[in-house]
Amino acid sequence: MKTPPIHFGIYFVSKKYLKTFNSYINDYSKGLFKDGRPFVCIYPQNNYSEQPYFVPLLSLNQQSDNYKKKRSRWLEYKNLELNCPSSLTTILFFKDPIDKKSNITSIASLSKTIPVPSEMLIPKLNKGKLVHINQKDGNILTANLNKYIQSTIVDYSKSMPLVGYLNILAKKKHDPNAREYA
């Protein structure tokens, strides 16, 4: 894919990229990054990146045998999030953008958002046009992704204090390389 991804567009990630990416993540997350999983392209509005991020979309099909179990689990996660003092929203529910006539609910998990190179994306097309989420859901995703990125950015411009063994190593043993171990 040569053109930049479209804001709120739905994309699939190439098998090649997923194979490489999955070798770096834990077993819990591997199910989220599988072949055929749709991702929503979001361009965050912040000072940290002009690159798009891709939010994985999961689905809850009301016709599925395990619908109630899955929905209950996601609602439990959502309730835990609502009771957290950080007030970050990382789990969002909305109508499925791929099959608008269905009874499928889409779930966007912002904590699983990843950057993907443009050449590793495959657009989801319907009648030759890119499928996208609606503007309202896209704006909600963007606002929440911005908050999530803002709260998870670490400022590496200041040095971190050395604690525990590294502090002992640096001060008592006069090891000038102790900071490199942090």
Instruction: Check whether 179 has a pLDDT greater than 60.
Output: no
Instruction: Check whether 106 has a pLDDT greater than 90.
Output: no
The whole-angstrom separation of Cα 75 and Cα 107 is 11
* Mean pLDDT along residues 113-132: 89
Q: For residues 122 and 45, which has the higher predicted lDDT (pLDDT)?
A: 122
DSSP assignment of 96-160 equals -SS-TTSSEEEEEEGGG-B---GGGEEE-EETTEE-B--HHHHHHHHHHHHHHHHHH---TTSPP
What is the structure's pLDDT at 42?
92
User: What's phi and psi for 72, nearest 5 deg?
Assistant: -60, -40
Q: Tell me the pLDDT tens digit for each residue of 31-68.
A: 667 788 899 999 988 776 678 889 988 877 777 777 78
Q: Tell me the pLDDT tens digit for each residue of 67-79.
A: 788 778 777 777 7
The answer to whether 45 touches 149, Cβ cutoff 8 Å, is no
* The model's pTM: 0.71
* Mean pLDDT along residues 140-146: 88
What is the structure's pLDDT at 129?
92
Residue 181's pLDDT band (boundaries 50, 70, 90)?
very low
Give the mean pLDDT of the chain: 75
Tokens read off for 28: 């819990």
Q: For residues 5 and 28, which has the higher predicted lDDT (pLDDT)?
A: 5
